[in-house]
Structure 1
Amino acid sequence: MKNRFKLLALDMDGTLLTSEQTISPDTSRWIQKAKDQGVHVCLSTGRSFGSAWPYGDELGLTTPLITVNGSEVWRAPHDLYQRSLMDPALISDMHDIAVKEDCWYWAYSVDRVYNKDSWIGGIMDMEWLKFGFHTEDDDARHRILMKLQDMGGLEITNSSPHNLEVNPQGINKAAGIRTVCGLLGLEMSEVIAVGDSMNDLAAIEAAGLGVAMGNAQQVVRESADFVTASNDEDGIAEVIRKFIF
């Protein structure tokens, strides 16, 4: 039987990577088998290219990849196709919110990641991609969310239950995967998207097959077509065995 799925879009943290931040031998082996079958394997992550690529290199990937929750789409490793920048004024406003709430925060510029311990002046002169907040205080996180929603023009997700990740409106992993499909001549119906957090939700809902990891947040599991094993139990290997072979 000809396989209907041609693209496997994989989130990294909590999905491809174990809790130890490694790719297990079994998952790696099944990814290679999928590649041998002609399936494109695409990393789709909130990480920057520099933080994501060592794992892509480990897997021998030559396909497009999606970084910073879709703010960057790479035609191939080191070959940038598209980049969506965030208005520095929004970064400045979010920084003010983070300081007022006294929470951990970080922001991705084109060149590097800044955080609470390494923040700099000159926000308006830099090229920004994403801003993030982290707090285990549910009330504080809710207040931050309300302020962000009032600002408008933002795509608000998370990569863990305790954080909020903010990209320009309309920039998410689903949009990134659509762009990759355009580059590869594929349809969204030919995509398997796998993830565990709110920043994977749009992709899981838009793909031909949306898969949540066993360790995924509840709303992500409820929205998926299939729930696989956890990231520490080779959930991706299970997906490849079940839907590609």
Structure 2
Amino acid sequence: MKYKCVVVDLDQTLLHEDKSLSQKTIDAFAKLPPETEIVVATGRAIIRTERYADLIHARSMICTNGSIVYHQGEVIHRTEIDSQKVIDLIQIVRKIEPVHITLFYPTQGYTTNEYYINKGESLRLDLDHFETHEIQKIFIVTSNHAAVEAIDFSSYGMKAVPLTENPDIFVITADQVNKGSALRALCDHLGLDLSEVVAFGDDYNDLEMLQEAGCGVAMANAVGEISASADQHTLSNEDDGVAWWLEKHLADFQ
């Protein structure tokens, strides 16, 4: 198989636990043929993705779990949360005790969490007055899991997925959003066949992406469902598993 595209998740996949990117990984991507399409696919917004994409010379980014896709800085695909239904949902969610809510737009986050406001990572969210358009993702942070699980998110055209590393954080996106559908949209735009794609991931939000790719590679630290569904496996993120696989299969890109 000859691959023309590498798609890689960031957290617990490309990055070490301290969120660093090793020189070994940077060098491994630099060895790929210059025409290789390198794609970062992450739950992060673009403002927390670009610097990593630059280091591995990625021309494309799939952000906020597939809600928005960029190629060379231009938006080529997006799926937003319904602007009217988000108002109704927020009125329900804000009644949960305790709860923090963060709304993610393409380039900015707004939150009720003072910690992230004080750190300068997000702006203050006024739950009575907020922009309802272009919301890509919502974080609901609460220890009251039962209250979140009692909400029928599908009736709002949305879905809620808890984060593996912190089950108190529920990620809300439009129901049809996932990295796999975003990857299909990107490949259609670039004229690539999905069989020419190798994708790396570790968590539940990587599942559709690994299934769509011609070769889905699970990290050694991947959750069980990802590991079981992958075509191949590599070392953990702490052991630079992406770099190890790329170096071992470099001839498949030439």
Normalised-by-shorter TM-score class? 0.7 to 0.9
Name the SS for the 1:91 alignment partner. Answer: helix
- Residues 172-228 of structure 1 show CA distances to partners (whole Å, capped at 9, x for unaligned) of 111111111112211111111111111111111221111111222222212212221
Q: Out of 75, 90, 94, which is 1:80 matched to?
A: 75
Q: Aligned equivalents of 1:239 and 1:146: distance in 2? A: 42
Which residue pairs with 1:213 in the alignment?
Answer: 219
Which residue pairs with 1:128 in the alignment?
Answer: 135
For structure 1, list consecutive stretches of 5 or more residues without a partner in the other structure.
Answer: none
Equivalences for 1:112-191 in 2 at 5 Å?
Answer: 112-117=108-113, 118-120=124-126, 121-123=128-130, 125-135=132-142, 137=143, 140-141=144-145, 143-149=147-153, 151=155, 153-161=157-165, 162=167, 163-191=169-197
- Seen in structure 2, the aligned counterparts of structure 1 residues 33 and 134 have a Cα distance that, compared at 3 Å, is farther
Q: Aligned equivalents of 1:26 and 1:173: distance in 2? A: 26
Q: Aligned equivalents of 1:206 and 1:158: distance in 2? A: 23
Q: Out of 92, 103, 106, which is 1:110 matched to?
A: 106
Equivalences for 1:56-75 in 2 at 5 Å?
Answer: 56-61=53-58, 63-75=59-71
Q: Aligned equivalents of 2:162 and 2:12: distance in 1? A: 12
Identical-residue share of aligned pairs (%): 26
* Counterpart code for 1:88: S
* Counterpart code for 1:151: S
- Seen in structure 2, the aligned counterparts of structure 1 residues 233 and 180 have a Cα distance that, compared at 3 Å, is same
Q: Aligned equivalents of 2:177 and 2:139: distance in 1? A: 15
Aligned residues: 237
* Counterpart code for 2:96: K
Q: Out of 11, 28, 31, which is 2:29 matched to?
A: 31
Query: 8 Å contact 1:91–1:123 — kept in the other structure?
Result: no
TM-score (structure 2 length as normaliser): 0.83
How far the C-alpha of 1:103 sits from its partner, in A, is: 3.6
Give the alignment's Cα RMSD to 1 decimal: 2.2
* Counterpart code for 2:70: W
Q: Aligned equivalents of 1:141 and 1:225: distance in 2? A: 34
Higher mean displacement: 80-89 or 12-21: 80-89
Q: Does 2:33 correspond to 1:4?
A: no
TM-score (structure 1 length as normaliser): 0.86
Which residue pairs with 2:116 in the alignment?
Answer: none
How far the C-alpha of 1:229 sits from its partner, in A, is: 1.1
Q: Aligned equivalents of 1:171 and 1:181: distance in 2? A: 16
How far the C-alpha of 1:59 sits from its partner, in A, is: 2.4
Q: Does 2:196 correspond to 1:194?
A: no
4+ residue runs over 6 A deviation: none
Q: Aligned equivalents of 1:4 and 1:184: distance in 2? A: 17
For structure 2, list consecutive stretches of 5 or more residues without a partner in the other structure.
Answer: 114-123
